[in-house]
Amino acid sequence: MDSETYLGDAKAVTDLLDDFDEEETTSVDDGSLPEDRFLDRELSWLAFNQRVLELAEDPRLPVLERANFLAIFASNLDEFFMVRVAGLKRRIATGLAVPTVTGRTPTEVLADINRTAYELQRRHAEAFRSGVKPALYDANIRIVEWDELDDSQRDHLRQTFAQQIFPVLMPLAVDPAHPFPYISGLSLNLSVRVRNPKTGRQEFARIKVPQMLPRFLPLGADSGSGVLEFIALEDLISNQLEDLFPGMEIVEHHVFRVTRNEDVEIEEDETENLIQALEKELLRRRFGPPIRLEISDDMDPVTLDLLVRELDITEQEVYTLPSPLDLGGLFSIAKIDRPALHYPNHVPTTSLPIMPTEPNSKPDIFRSIARQDILLHHPYESFATSVQAFLEQAAADPHVLAIKQTLYRTSGDSPIVEALIDAAESGKQVLALVEIKARFDEQNNISWARKLEKAGVHVVYGLVGLKTHCKLALVVRNEKGRLRHYSHIGTGNYNPKTSRIYEDLGLLTADDTVGKDLTRLFNELSGYAIEKKFKRLLVAPLHLRKGLLKRIAIETKNAQEGKPSGIQIKVNSIVDEAIIDALYRASAAGVPIDIWVRGICAVKPGQAGLSENIRVRSILGRYLEHSRVFSFVNDGDKQMYIGSADMMHRNLDRRVEALVRLVDPDQIKEIDHLFELAMAPTTSSWWLDETGIWTRHHLDDEGTVLDDMQNRVMYQVSRRRRSGAFR
């Protein structure tokens, strides 16, 4: 597994966690529903990260995958603090915080977050110390400490330190002439107390552990024994402090780490240059206030008091943990090329309808799409031979007149961006809607926007006050004097790297109705058009919420009239109160409801009279479940949508989102089968109860491991290619 891309190049862990917005209520309850009907969203998110941790704790998983899940847990929690906890603290400090939908005060929620997060971090450290680290050792991958090294190893590391590390270090003294230094967010630091042997005076210094050097330093090449050994960089530096403070006595040294508020707030003004405003805000991000202080559990009280005072942080925000801190550094260990210690390799297949019909012929994606709508399922089906090839062929095709596309997150070496540049340089009309406010990818997207503009691409930044989150591409092609639309609507970003790790769906279609819908939507995003209605799309913020509530209401009415009914929803998060209340009413009317959620879930399933017909499941594994699906039985005429929207306030009210309705019966059957697998008692998954507790169901009564759904889907997709049939 490519550990950097499980969460989207680590810094784009946001796509897993991009679930943070201001607390608000959209419920229109008439008082008939109980007040305690929602689960707390913050604690629900922490429960999600606990599920990630449970994978790291599972000795049945390959050990390098367990190390990867430990790193994912750490990165997830970092961002949770930088965004959600930071926002909560900001609202408390400014007096803008209001009680949550669970009726608890923001200060109570913050206290619960700190308590629960601290417990999870202690558990996380223990999972490494007593679980993953010994298992790595048994697999001849050893993370050792200085005291465990022999003389020759220490000599080798001293030379490495002198040549490659010492010149980079910058010890900073703290005294009347040197104020306490700025501590950058998420950096590892050494606090050092030294004594002048002549005066007996003690001084304090801080050393930043360089982030551009390997977090875990290899001790040397494998000598043929098959053993790889690493030492934490801060451990090595700690044992060479005499070189950094010659003539001084080292009294104490400890490791600490600060998390800061790194969320970006942009107050948009129609007259303001959005890129310039965002660049200024990105500079301010670096200097956000501290919100968490992690310290090694051997830190002395004098040093701790100094840090707490200088950082202006509360005791509640101090996390005392065993070394090593920052287990996000395990991403590098998880990349070690030992196939037996990873998940078995899965090779994505080319979608069957895209395969050439003639032997030795090249794929013609336009011809394939013209024959039928094509439903793609990544990473089981290749992104490179489908979506990427679609855009690359469009860029090279002389019959293509225009390409229009949204870009929310993409990789640093994106062939998608290169295809758009090639198309513009060949004279095609190219429109790229770049969402430069995609959290923690802002600078990346600004760079790509400027590169696209230089190539002649028409770059726009969407609508004031709204993020453009929909995943859309439209190609206009001249076919014998007639213009034809070829469209792609997806659930995931146009990112070739994350497409290998994120589970997503996408629809390629030449349907003229969809093409006209997208044409109108792009005109709305790039110009001044105000579109009132679409045919096969549900679009936020104007129509999506209303459309989904209408479909839920139809299922409720059908159940009351004894007609076939049912709702199936697959999302990353579901917290919107109006949607949840509608689901509660549908459940009370007898509608069977299945919710398949990866992250936050505010729904309380299984409550008599309210939600006894609602089941909630979560599946985590080698791939990041990322697709969004909404399916309604509709008295036997099933209505099914896929798209970019989660059930959150911001997705429904403050973003441009798009769902497309599937019409091919075989594609609807395919999605139905995925829900059958996800909800089956024979599938390994987590089940949510009405108290907010997630219970892992991964063993049967005999202790046999249940089905891994992602493995099963990969097998079925591979077999489909061989046989030409779905099952």
Q: How far is CA 536 from the centre of its chain?
A: 28
Q: How far apart are CA 389 and CA 135, in angstroms?
A: 42
Find, among 1, 13, 17, 39, the residue nearest to 595 by Cα.
39
- Tell me the per-residue pLDDT of 263-293, one tens digit each, with 9 for 90 and over: 544 443 343 454 454 445 444 445 578 899 9
Question: Nearest Cα to 557, choosing from 660, 634, 498?
Answer: 634
- How many angstroms separate the CA atoms of 296 and 130, rounded? 17
d(CA 641, CA 662): 6
Closest CA to 109 of 16, 41, 20: 41
Query: Both tokens of residue 241?
Result: 């402090």
Lowest-pLDDT range, 99-113, 391-405, 470-484? Answer: 99-113
Which pLDDT does position 434 carry in this prediction? 82
Between the alpha carbon of residue 342 and those of residues 226, 231, 397, 499, the distances in Å are 17, 22, 41, 19
Q: Please count the other Cβ atoms lying within 10 Å of the Cβ belonging to residue 546.
A: 12
Check pLDDT > 80 for residue 494: yes
| Average pLDDT for the chain | 87
Reference 35, options 104, 107, 103; nearest CA is 103
Reported confidence tier of residue 90, pLDDT bands at 50, 70, 90: confident
Instruction: Tell me, yes or no, if 485 is annotated catalytic.
Output: no
Check: CB of residue 586 under 8 Å from CB of residue 559.
yes
Distances from the Cα of 714 to the Cαs of 40, 172, 189, 610, 727, in angstroms? 35, 53, 43, 37, 12
| pLDDT score for 45 | 95
pLDDT at 558 over 60: yes
Domains and CATH numbers, the chain: 3-341 (3.30.1840.10), 352-532 (3.30.870.10), 539-723 (3.30.870.10)
Contact call for residues 465 and 385 (beta carbons, < 8 A)? no
| pLDDT above 70: percentage of residues in the chain | 87
Within 10 A of 727 (CB to CB), how many other CB atoms are there? 9
pLDDT of residue 532: 67
> Beta strand pairing status for 482-490 and 202-208?
unpaired
Residue 483 has pLDDT above 60, yes or no: yes
Which backbone phi and psi does 536 adopt, to 5 degrees? -105, 0
Higher-scoring residue by pLDDT: 526, 659: 659
Q: Scanning the structure block, which residue is given the tokens 């990427």?
A: 388
Is the model's pLDDT at 12 over the cut of 50? Answer: no
> From the centroid of its chain, how far is CA 282?
20
| Between residues 199 and 48, the one the model is more confident about | 48
Q: Which amino acid is at 156?
A: H
Mean pLDDT of 122-148: 96
pTM: 0.89
Say what the alpha-carbon torsion angle 257, 441, 492, 518 is, to the nearest 10 degrees: 160
CA dihedral sign of residues 670, 672, 675, 679: negative
Whether the Cβ atoms of residue 471 and residue 498 lie closer than 8 Å to each other: no
For 415-448, write each residue's pLDDT tens digit: 888 999 999 999 999 998 887 654 445 566 677 7
Judged by average pLDDT, the poorest of 277-291, 317-331, 390-404 is 277-291
Q: Which of 377, 378, 469, 488 is catalytic?
A: 469
